[in-house]
Structure formats: C-alpha cells, structure tokens
Chain A
Amino acid sequence: MVSVFVATVLLASQASTPGVTLMAWQLESPFERVPSLVSGQAPNAYFVHREMDFQGDVKSEYGALKSNFYLDVSARVQVAEEGRYDFLLESHSHADLRVQGEPVTQTWDPNLLLKSGQAAGQYLLARGSAKLQIRVMHNEGPFAFSLKWRPPGAKEFSKIPAGLLSTEPGQTFVTSPGVKKANLGKPNTPPGDGRPLEAVHPSFQLVNFRGKFAPAVGGMCFLPDGRLAVCTWDERGAVYLISELDSREPKVKLFAEGLGEPLGIAYWKGDLYVTQKGEVTRLRDNDSDGTADEFTTVASGWPVSQNYHEFTFNLVPFQGSFYVTSSVPLRSGNTNYMPGTHGSMPISDGPGSWIKIDPATGKWEILATGLRTPNGMAIGVDGEMFVADNQGSWLPSSVLYILKPGTKYLHQESPDGIPEPKNLVVWFPHGEIGNSPSEMTLISDGVYRGQMLIGDVTYGGLQRVALERVGGDYQGSVFRHSQGLEAGINRLAWGDDGSLFVGGVGSNGNWNHMGHRFGLQRLKPTNKVPFEMRDLSIRKDGFLVSFTHPLSTSAAAQLAKANVRQWRYESSLLYGGPKVDDERLTVGSVKVSPDRKQAFFALDGLKPQHVVYFNLRGVKSAAGADMWSPETWYTTSKVPAMTFQGFSTARDGQGFARPRGAETLIDGQGKSQMVDAEGKPSAWKRGKGFVEVVHDSKADIGAGDSYTKSPHGDAWIHLEWFSPAGGKVDSQTNGNSGIKLQSRYEIQIMNRPGIPDVEGGDTKFNEAGSIYRQTAPTINASFGAGVWQAYDIWFRAARWKDGKKIENARVSVFWNGVLVQDNKDILDKTGLSVAEAPGDFPMLLQDHHTEAEGPVRYRNVWWVKDPWSKKLGPPVSK
C-alpha cells in the first residue's frame, strides 16, 4: 500500500443545477425491453430538461429521434422527510426506474403494472438527496413518460416538484450522430468484436499498486532515479513523486501543490517542469526538504481566458524547446464561437494551437492552429510529433494529426466554409474505437515496435496505431488494444523495465469512463503475443495485412468473408458528424503468404480521404487461437499508385536468431567485451540492458569508438541498435553512429532511413541502411527513431594478392530481417575511415557527434567469423 497524503484543501460541495439530465441513443432496431448499451458510445441527444416527464420527439443536433431509441433520464431529488415513497412510472414504452441505483419498477413486468403503461414501486428514502434514474426503450409511436411519487402520508400520486429536482451543473454535452449498438442480455460477439474489449492486452499484466492514493492524472514522467512524477488535475493541483515502484509498498511523496490545472509534466536538464493553465512553470526544491519552494514562470501569455475549456495540455521537451497545446473555449459542449460571433478570445491564431516555447527566454510562438481539444501530444513514429484531437464542432470524429508548422487543422472559428483535413493521420470513428483520445506513446521494442499506443478518457483503455508513409505522408490503422482499466486513460509513461504506467482522469457529464475520475495502474510486460493483425499497408488494389502469428490453413476462405467497408467524414459546425458515403467493399480475392503471416486483400474502389474498416471475424491462427480483436480502421489519406507486387519478408525487429557458436560482443544485459583504441575496456556507458555511446555533443568530445578485441575477416555480425529521435534533417546529426567492418567499411546507423517511403522517394546513401556514402538501401525497413532495430550483416572481406586488391569487399545487410543491401560491392573505405589494406582488422562501433535526444544504444551484438565455412551464409543472396 502506498502512503497517502490527506488533502488539506476542502473540496467544494458538489454544485447542482435545477432540472434532469436526458440522454438518448438512436438504435437500429426495436427491443422488447430495456437493453444494455455497448459502452463507449456518445448519445445522439443530451440536454437538461425541467421535470421528470417528457412527451414528443427527442430533439438532437442531428434530427429528431422518433423510434427505436434508448433514453436515460437521471436527476437527484431532495427528500425532506424520511419514509416509504411510492413511485408511479407511466410510459407505453419499455421503461424502468431505479432509485439510489436499485431497481424499483418496470413497465414490462406484469406483476408491477397498475394498468397498461403504469408501473408502481416503493422505496425507503432517507432525508437528503436521492438519485433517480429512468431508462426507456422506445420502439415506435408517440413517445411519453412521466414519474410521479406519493410521499409518506400523501393520498395521491403527484408530480415531483421541479424545485426538488437537480442535476450536475456545467455538463459538457458530448453527442454524436449515427446508429448506436445495444444488446439484450449477453452480447452476441466476443469482446473486441463490435464492442470494446474487456481486458488488458495479453502482452501486459495489470498491476494495481496505488493503494489509497487516488490521483486524477494530468501528467506523468520518470525522473532519472526511477521515481515516477505525477501531476494531478484536481483541487490540489499537486505533483507527487512515487518511489520504490517495484516494492509492495511504493512511497508517494507530495512534491508541490497549488498548481492550476496541471496537464503536462516533464523532467528536463535536472528540473521538473509543469504545464498549468496558460503557463509553463519550473519547480525547484532549494532547501532540499523534498518539496518545491520555488515556482518559476518559464513561459506564459498565449491566449487563455477564464473559460473552463481553455486548457493548456501536455509538455514535450524536444530539441531544446518545449511544446504545449491549447484548446478552444466551450460552453456546454458547443464551441463558444457561434455563427455571427467572435470567440471569447477573438484572436486569429488561437487558442486551439500548437505552441513552441524557448525555455531559456520564455518566448513562445504558435506553430499551428485549428486544434480543438488537443489533449495528447508526443514524439511518436519516426521522431515526428503527433497530437490527438477530440470530436466536436468541425471534427466529425476524433483524430490523430502529425504536427507540422503552419498547418491549419480542422477546427475553425468562422462558421464560413468547410475546412479540409491536413496532416490527418488517423480517424478514430466515434464510439467505435475512441471518443476522447489522449496521450500517445511510441512502442520502442517487441512485436509492435514502431507503433504507438494511445489512451482515451471516455472510451477508455488503450488503442494501438500502426502507421506507414504513403507518398511522403503518414497514414495508417487503429486497433483495439486494452480495456478493463480503472478509469479513462489520460497519460502514459514507460518504465525502464518495459512497464507502461497508465494514469486516469474524468470529469462530470459524460467526460469520463464508466463514471471514474482517477486512476493509476501499471501494465507489466509478459512477452506474450496474442494472435491479431499487426499492421496494414495499402496498395492501389487492396491491403497487405500482417499478422502476429501464422494463419490457419483454412484462413484464406474465412478472410474472403471479411466485412470491409469504407466511408468518409465531412466537417461541419455540428457536434461530431455522421459517416458519409458508407459502403461495403467486395473482397475480390485473398492471397496468403508462404509463411502464413501476411494476407493480401484485393479490393476495388479504394478512395482517398476515407476510413476503411475491416472485420476478420472467425479467422484463426495456425495454433487455433481466435483474434484478440478482429477489427481495424485504416485512414486512406492517400491511395498509392503501387499495386500488390507479391509478398516480401515482413520486418522483424529482432533480426535473425543467434546460431550456436556465435561470440558475444555486447550482451542483452549491457555487458560489453568491447575495448577502446588502446585496448582498454570501452568507456561507453552501461545501462539497463544496453550500452550507450558516450559523447558530449556540446563540446563534441566523446569516449571514442568501441572496438572488438579481435580482428575479423569474413563474418556474420548481428547487432541491435537504438537511435533516438532528433537532430537536423540532412545534417548527419540524427542519432548518428555506425558499424565499421574491419574498421573501414561503415554501415550507417541513424534515426532516419536512406529510403523513406513504401513508394520510394529520395534515396540517401548516407543515412540508415546505407553503405556510407556508397549505396542507399533498397527498401525502407526502418522501425523509425526511438525504436530498437536490428542489423544482420554478412561481410565478405576484400581479397588481396601481392598487396593488391583483386576483389572488393562485399556485404549483405538485413535490416530488421529484410534484405536491404544484397551482396553489394564496397568499392573503397567509407568516409574518413582508414585506408583499405590486406589482413583482418577489428570491427568498431562509431562514436559520432549527434544532436538527437540522447545517445545511440547497442545490445545483443554478436558475431560468427567465417560463416560460409560453417554453412551460415545469408539466407537470400545473389
């Protein structure tokens, strides 16, 4: 159990507003009694009504609900006198009444009916406030319901006076159009198929560790000493430091409090920084008593008003700058700029902005506008910065954007014109796979490396996003990943053991998950990989789908039955928007790769700017496993010109398996056999499971290259490397290192690949995958910056006779298992290396100047000398 601080702030008494809250969901078909809604779906209509009765159509932004709708009515009633209260629920629809959460009566139970459409029940109420809830399933015909009561001593039923009814004030009325899903009794599909998952992804084990510590998490980050810093979006506005996370009783210590709605936190250059509403602040503990005593304003001044919805989100330090986002003002869910009005901050480029801050001077600039509720920003795939934005006006569904300076994103202040999506990477179809996406994080290792996980505050859980570049731009798919967490997920932080810490938050109205408002849990890696789709890659004529395990031999027939649809969205002033041009796509044929881990779906009529939905229900793995979730949603910002060219080897970040007899140079625990130029043990730093280059980039002085103790000639060399994001484009500072074969032939290591796109693009012979300054890789097999990757290099040394080279050295390079240099001649020494010469020489790993967000790391480096003689040559070679 964690130790707990008792908040000294008195929480204001829960405010209320007169009326009752009504929410209505449009269903596809009638039900013979009140069904259970599939969770995570926003209502079509949501408003505050005066009394516990209603008749007529239910109005919504998207048109009136007339039939086949589910209605939820909730309020609190003030009870002046304790006693038994009789209730009379009147409706010709299927309706039930709950008081204080307990069922009281229902109109479809003949035993409770006074007469047709009138059900009676009784409840013992104490003085004070009691919760009332009516659920109605209305199928067809005129709609009406009412609730009357008979207090103790009264003879007749009477209307509950409006003056006694109240509901939550200041609700944000989140709605969305379209038909919603509901079930009677047990759902007819497993979790993750047409409805949310119910458990954490099998690759993680859920660990509850917070005890009574109940943070509404606004931000999370790790300190270098392993403590987890958590800032809380609550009345205390605190920063807590949690230590001993692996013990049975992690310790929670208050570090700071009194911050105004902190929604971002970062550790940078020895200090903790937080994002408050309209400000970034540095926290320092000058007297070393364990709590902050100095609160320094680092930056402020961007547009922010008193409006509750003008949050300042996130805090991402990157390349010497801080990045935050701001959101637009709202009132009751609607954007506070209505036709013919100015916003509460009528500034052309804010709020709703991406903001860059110089932490040294406090100067800030707005880099991009048109964001609505950008609650979630991170360095993601390929070291690019991404932001998630939430559904609402001009955003028919929630989205993931890549952040590019100068972009005007979808949300706009003017009611005029229709904005066009720009730099939109993924749509999260509302209620199907997300409602309020939050922070995302890059997966740096394992089967899903190079992809991202993203939280959701109201839909809950985690979603997985897999991107590819098409025509130079990112797009991709979203998959269900995890549910069953204690609150909607707001913030994420990786521990150094591969654990993912998930922080929850929630508010009133329906801006929460299952009504929960705080949470902090740990997902510990299990190394289990369930059967599911790993990623999708679009072609002009269909999709190449990769799976985590081989498909069953009968899968092709099942895959051909896949439910594939496509639709698009149109921006409008409406809160959210419907699917437009929704159509089913016919699967022409399905081809399965020889290793049964890929399938190609031939599809005609793929359109750009659409969402393509796949449901592969019933498909099993070769081992007979069902899919963790058979669904995915791919956003086709572009459809490439390239057609399916046959199957190629899928990337595998572990590279090739280590053969018997291989010699370890750096192991998986960070133990190194490498030496410096003088033969002393290499001064590179040992980390948890890796060795990292030591280089002071400011002074441009390093610990020097790291050499093998023995020389080599022909060899198979395996190395796993990690190049963090950052550095300037085309500057050779992008997480630069390299492996120099025989100390003179470099295979480049960098966070940028020498070939960027599925369709090619500008190749570069001096970036990752290249024989440095000689030959660019043939395929982009990179998992991107900040991700563990593997090279398997088969090197055939140059042949010499009488001191003259008679054959060039040659090399085959497999990058993440994919052949990118096929038995290529190395024409000469590369770059500034030592000259070619006969004989064997050590291999070295390069100490190079870099401006990335940290040093290059290595692990699992081993070699097999003279592999051909041991029949261990490369598997594919000319």
Chain B
Amino acid sequence: MLASFLAVGLIHQATDNSLRVFRAVFEDRPRQLIILLPTAKKDESVGFVFHPDIGTIRKVWIGATDYRGKVYDFSQNNSRSEGKVVWEAKSECLRLPDTEQSGWVSKGVRFEKGWKFAEDGAWMESPVFRYEGLQTAYVGFDELSQSARFQISLIDPSGKVGTSFGSSMAQDSGWQWNFKKIPVLAGDWRLRISADKATDGKSLRNLRVFGDFAAWKITQGGETKTASVRMKGYRVNHGAVTVTVDVGGALVDWTPSANSNNWTESFEVKGLSDSASLTLERGLEGGLLVLGNGSKVVNHKW
C-alpha cells in the first residue's frame, strides 16, 4: 500500500517555502497544531496532528488537507486529513456501524440511509464498553429530522444512568451533527439512544464515543503516574518546526521530519530530575518510548 506513495519520493528537507504550520479545529478537536512537511508531489504533504492536550501527535498522514470551517468555507464543519493515514492514535471507544449493529440491541429501528427510528419510543442500545482511559470524552453523531429529539444516556450494568442529554435541534433540513462532551466515567457502560417520536424520518448515523488517551507518564522514585502536560509553544526555523511541551516539569522539544525511508521524531529532554524518566505510550510501532534528559531520535518506517 505504501509502495505507490514511496515511488513519488519524499524530499529530504522541508523548505521555508513549503513547510506549513497552523492551528485549527481539526477532526473535532480544538487548538490542534498541524504540521505539513512537503513531499516532491504538488499538493501533497506529510501531515502531523499535534494535540496540545496530550502533548504529542495523534495522527500522521500523507496526502492533502480538507480545509473546512468558518474561516475556510464558512461552514460549521472542521478540517480533516485527506489521503493515506500512516498512523493514528486510538481514540474511539464505541462506534455504531452504519450497516450492521453487531452486539447492539434495538426496538423499532432499521437501517435505511441511516438508522431510522421507525416507531414512537424506538431505541437502540450498545454493547458494554469502557472509556475510562480518555482524558476528554465526547459523544458524536448525526441526526436527521427537525421534529423529534434523541435522548442519549450512558447506563451502567445495574441500569443506573451515568449521564444523559437530549440532542439539539436545528433549522436545517439535512443531516445535522451533534457533539457533546461527557464526563469520563470508570467502569462498564452501555449507550442508549431513544426517540419518543418517530416523525419525519427520525434517523441516526455516525454515532461514536471518542476522545484522547493520556500519552505521557513520569516515573520517579519507583512510582509511575500520568504526567501533567502543557504545550509551551513552537518554533519555526529553516524549514523545520520544533514543539516544546512541559511534561511533568521537564521540557521536551519534539521535531518531526520525513524522508523516503522513515518519518522521524527527534526528542530533546531538559530539566528532568536525574532519578526520573518519561514514558511515551501512543500505540505506535515499537511500543513504549522511554526518555531521560538528552536527545533521542526515533525513526518510524513507512
């Protein structure tokens, strides 16, 4: 799969004219730092999505960017990557498939263009899932029809409701997004969606529970815990960008680059106490990355 991409050949060094670094709401997350390193191909980049809240990247892709949002196309959508996803951090804890509902139970719901709630009081309920490792958690879905409201609830095995909300209504006639931040709750949960009224073709699609998992841990005195993370900023020099993050009180400089063989992360850690180490766990090939003070270069093969 990657061969066709490699055939075009990456340039080894980004140039001032072609590196692009920008902040945006990207794939449903605000404040994302997007770094686009050029390739030899016009309108193609190696893209990195750096997430300030977790202090590391959450996605690498090669291709283009679909710029959406008020400052791009005036829409209420947000920008997304286009092309081949090289790597993406796990973020979804639950998704309702659009064509089958394995493990889901329902009443009065059938699939047409989306999941149509065909009778009053129709409902769907997910299989048990957990999402407690997320730093922030969201429920997202699209709904159709303006005349009835979905009720969305998280229910534990005993039937106790953890959180519940109604969808919001719009004056638009097409599919409308809903996007709600939910509290991160430990344990097993099921997601239940119901509609009191089935009027006007009330339908649902693209339902998911997602968020971002903490990536950094700090080990000190034999104790390992999730590290505090604060993005300090970034510097753009000579066609390269370096992002600085405060991780547990240490400063970590992170610089991405790419060539025909690898995409590369260069780390420079300062200010970590001698007995401490940082661990970066993102589900990337190679497993855990353990860092102490000093430099480390990590190559990831395409």
A interface residues, Cβ below 8 angstroms from B: 8-15, 17-19, 46-50, 168-171, 173, 216, 233-235, 237, 257-261, 276-279, 281-282, 286-287, 293-297, 300, 304-308, 310, 331-334, 336-342, 344-346, 362, 507-508
Contacts and interface: CB of A to CB of B under 8 A. Distances in A.
A378 B22 CA distance: 28
Contacts of A336: 168
B74 A508 contact: yes
Contact of A295 (B67, B166, B235): B235
A736 to B, nearest CB: 38
Contacts of B166: 338-341
A287 B236 CA distance: 11
B76 interface: yes
Given A15-B68, A304-B30, A308-B25, 14 more contacts: A13-B73, A15-B75, A18-B173, A47-B172, A258-B23, A276-B23, A294-B234, A304-B31, A310-B30, A332-B170, A342-B163, A346-B165, A362-B230, A507-B74
A305 B173 CA distance: 24
B233 A12 contact: no
B78 interface: yes
A49 B172 CA distance: 8
Contacts of A344: 179-181
Contacts of A306: 25, 28-30, 78, 179
Given A237-B23, A297-B232, A334-B169, A15 B74 contact: yes
A257 to B, nearest CB: 7
Contacts of B180: 342, 344, 346
A281 B233 contact: yes
Contact of A170 (B20, B76, B163, B165): B76
A684 B71 CA distance: 47
B71 to A, nearest CB: 5
B249 interface: no
A344 B25 CA distance: 15
B66 interface: yes
Identify which of B31, B172, B236 gathers the most chain A CB atoms within 10 Å of its CB: B172
10 contacts: A9-B20, A170-B75, A237-B71, A260-B23, A287-B237, A294-B235, A297-B230, A306-B179, A308-B78, A346-B181
B4 interface: no
Contacts of B108: none
Chain B residues touching A, range: 35 or more
B248 interface: no
A293 B237 contact: yes
Identify which of B20, B67, B72 gathers the most chain A CB atoms within 10 Å of its CB: B72
A295 B234 contact: yes
Contacts of B23: 237, 258-260, 276-277, 279
Given A19-B174, A296-B233, A305-B181, A235 B31 contact: no
A50 B173 contact: yes
Contact of B171 (A46, A237, A295, A507): A46
Contacts of A233: 71
A337 to B, nearest CB: 7
Contacts of A281: 233
B264 interface: no
B71 A331 contact: no
B52 interface: yes
Identify which of A12, A237, A287, A296 gathers the most chain B CB atoms within 10 Å of its CB: A12
Given A258-B21, A305-B179, A234 B78 contact: no
Nearest to A234: B71
A508 B24 CA distance: 19
Contacts of B21: 258
A307 B177 CA distance: 10
Given A300-B31, A305-B181, A258 B20 contact: yes
Nearest to A292: B236
A233 B71 CA distance: 6
B252 to A, nearest CB: 14
Nearest to A340: B166
Interface string B230-271: 111111110000000000000000000000000000000000
B70 interface: yes
Contact of B172 (A17, A287, A295, A308): A17
Contacts of A235: 67, 71-72
B6 to A, nearest CB: 25
B201 interface: no
A260 B231 CA distance: 15
B284 to A, nearest CB: 25
Nearest to A517: B74
A279 B181 contact: no
A334 B171 CA distance: 8
Interface string B150-183: 0000000000000101111111111011011100
Interface in B1-49: 20-25, 28-31, 43
Contacts of A259: 22-23
Contacts of A277: 23, 25, 30-31
Contact of A341 (B20, B74, B165): B165
B77 interface: yes
A277 B166 CA distance: 27
A338 B233 contact: no
B69 interface: yes
A367 to B, nearest CB: 22
Contacts of A341: 165-168
Contacts of A508: 74
Contact of B77 (A170, A171, A276, A286): A170
A276 B231 CA distance: 14
B72 A12 contact: yes
Contacts of A12: 66-68, 72-73
B169 A297 contact: no
A278 B30 contact: yes
Identify which of B43, B168, B179, B234 gathers the most chain A CB atoms within 10 Å of its CB: B168
Contacts of B230: 297, 362
B168 A308 contact: no
A649 B44 CA distance: 71
Identify which of A18, A48, A297, A306 gathers the most chain B CB atoms within 10 Å of its CB: A306
Contact of A260 (B20, B24, B77, B165): B24
B231 A297 contact: yes
A305 B25 CA distance: 8
Nearest to A232: B71
Contact of B169 (A216, A260, A338, A345): A338
Given A277-B25, A331-B168, A297 B233 contact: yes
Contacts of B231: 297, 300
A276 B181 CA distance: 21
Contacts of A11: 67, 72-73
A58 to B, nearest CB: 13
Contacts of A342: 163, 165, 180
A169 B165 contact: no
